[in-house]
Structure formats: structure tokens, C-alpha cells
Amino acid sequence: MAAAAEIGKKAPNLSVSKWVQGMPTNIDQEKDRIVVVEVFQVNCPGCFMYAIPEAISVYNKYRDDGVRVLGVATAFEDFDKNTLENLEMLAETGRVVGDTLHSLGQYGKLEGGDRLPYKIPFPLGMDSLARTDAGGSMEQVLRIIRPQIPDFDSKPEAYRSQIVERVREHLRAKEYSAETFESYSLRGTPSTILVDRKGILRDVSFGQGVGLEHSVRSLLGE
């Protein structure tokens, strides 16, 4: 497992099992560049409606200004759809599956019935997945809880017990643990990781409309 990420400290490398598009790379290899990592799931309609198009826009506008955009597909649910094989199919053909296929189709956002209307131009890699320990050790549980509830240890015991059991249930339901997702304590997809030219982690944001271009422009101005 990669080191846990902390804002204001050196960004840990991404744990990628395979780069399916572009040359293999990582954060420590992108020296003197601003690095934007768009973390998505293949089975995530919002990722393809909003976050990835925004990342493509940033790529197109700032790639010649020292900004590197990387895409990492992860999986914290729907493990039958969020697979390396479906990511490879997406990269090679633009075809989408599952909820992404259904939702984008409903909104008329596909070409030929099952393909994205745009090409993702930046490198794409698959998060490293490891089969989980169904029980979930206390260390695993606290690693998930503490970034979300910083004052967790000062909460009443009954509250803490309830939260620990909920997280254990979540871990029991997971077939795999995704290493980049876990090391950056991501809350879901889409999520965006922003690293400055010195390799320092500056921001981790969850959801669409995160003001990515504004953040990138701010770092370019430093």
C-alpha cells in the first residue's frame, strides 16, 4: 500500500496496475510540471458527463504550459463493470458500459449508441486492485474514518462504535481495495488530485464543478 497522502506534503505515487493509453509515468517522473489526476470509474456517468470533459479542456488549454493530465480508473463498487478490460475497451474504441451507457444514452450523449462523442487524449491507467481482508482490521477501519472525521477520537464511545461497525460492513461488502483510491482517502468518483511543480499535493476534490481550471491557473501563476 502506498503512503497516505497529505495536503501540503509530497504527493505519493499513483498505484497503477497497467497504463492502457500513453507512456507509463508517475508523479515523481513529472518533475517541474503541474500534475492533474482525474480519478474515475468506468461505471460512473457523472465522470463522463462532467469531470473528464473538464479534464480534457484543461489538457487542451494548458498542456504546452507545463500541465500534465493523467486519468486513473479505479473501482470501489460494481467490480464486474469497473474492470481493466472495460477500461481497455474504452481507450481503444470509446465504448462505454453499465450505468454510463444507460445514462449517457438517455441524455443523447453517445455516438453510435454506445460510444463517447469525444476521445480522451491523455494517459489512462488502471488503479491497482487487491483482494480485501473481509474482516477489516482496526487499522484499515481508522485509515478510512480519520480523514473524513478528523475529531473521531474525541467523539462519544457509542458514536465511534457505530461508525466503526458501518465501515466494517462496507469493507466486508468490498471484493477489492483500490490502492490509489485508498492512499488518497478519496470519497468517490469523480475525484481530482492536484500536484504542484515541486511534487507537493495541493488539493484533492470530490465531485463535479470543482473549479479545476481556476486551480490550475493559480498554480501556473506561482
For position 12, what pLDDT does the model report?
Answer: 95
The Cα–Cα gap between 132 and 135 comes to 8
Q: Which tens digit of pLDDT belongs to each residue from 80-95?
A: 999 999 999 999 999 9
For position 2, what pLDDT does the model report?
Answer: 58
Give the start-to-end residue ranges of the domains of the chain: 16-128+186-220, 133-173
For position 154, what pLDDT does the model report?
Answer: 93
Residues of the chain with pLDDT under 50: none
For position 1, what pLDDT does the model report?
Answer: 52
For position 172, what pLDDT does the model report?
Answer: 67
For position 211, what pLDDT does the model report?
Answer: 85
Sheet holding 191-195, edge to edge: 16-21, 124-127, 67-73, 34-40, 191-195, 201-206
Which architecture characterizes domain 16-128+186-220 according to CATH?
A: 3-Layer(aba) Sandwich (3.40)
Beta strands in the chain, from DSSP E residues, in sequence order: 16-21, 34-40, 67-73, 124-127, 129-131, 176-178, 191-195, 201-206
